[in-house]
Amino acid sequence: MSGVKTIVKPTEALVDERVHVQLQGLPQKIPVTIKASFQEERLRFCSYGCFIPTQGGQVMVERQAPAQGMYTGFEPMGLFWSMRPETFQGQNIRLLKRSVTKPIVVKLAVFEGYLSWDELFDTPTKPLAISKVYRWYKYKCSKRKSERRKY
């Protein structure tokens, strides 16, 4: 499965904007797990979803419900909103973003097969593909006025 490709559009967006995640180049009917994770200071958050590729070897997160994972049903942003603290950090952990001038960098890693929550943290295999998504709390100052969202 060396030809696996992750397509994320856009790769930079505000935290309340939709991100489209698609996988290509997968063998059909062989399950994969997508792990979404990020670290903010010493805290680490994670979510996952297990998907079965279509006959064309694709997974379109916004159009497919995971077979198992952190959420159920058709949820285009499920990998993002269902994140929770990794298990070894204890309970009642909350995300506190100290600097809104820096993005949350979410890493998306794709693994072959179904992985459980516990297996996500000790995966014996290398990911088939990795990509990053930059989630901003405010627009960067370098953006031109014409590119800014109009309210």
At 75-124, the pLDDT tens digits run 999 999 999 888 776 667 777 777 888 899 999 999 999 998 888 887 77
pLDDT tens per residue across span 9-41: 999 999 999 999 999 999 888 999 999 999 988
Q: Residue 131 is encoded by which pair of tokens?
A: 């990509």
The two three-digit tokens of residue 146, written as one number: 């014409």
Q: Could you give the CA distance from residue 79 to residue 8 in angstroms, rounded to a whole number?
A: 13
54, 30 Cβ separation under 8 angstroms: no
Q: If residue 80 lies in a helix (H) or strand (E), which one and from where to where?
A: helix 78-81
pLDDT recorded at residue 2: 63
Report helix, strand and coil shares of the chain as percent, to nearest 5: 10, 35, 55
Q: Is the pLDDT of residue 147 over 70?
A: no
Task: Report the alpha-carbon distance of residue 128 to residue 101 in Å, rounded.
Answer: 32
CA–CA dist 124, 133 (Å, integer) = 24
Distances (CA, A) of 60 to 42, 45, 54, 126: 32, 23, 9, 22
Residue labelled with tokens 């079965």: 52
CA–CA separation, 66 and 85 (whole Å): 20
pTM (2 d.p.): 0.85
Residue with tokens 């593909």: 129
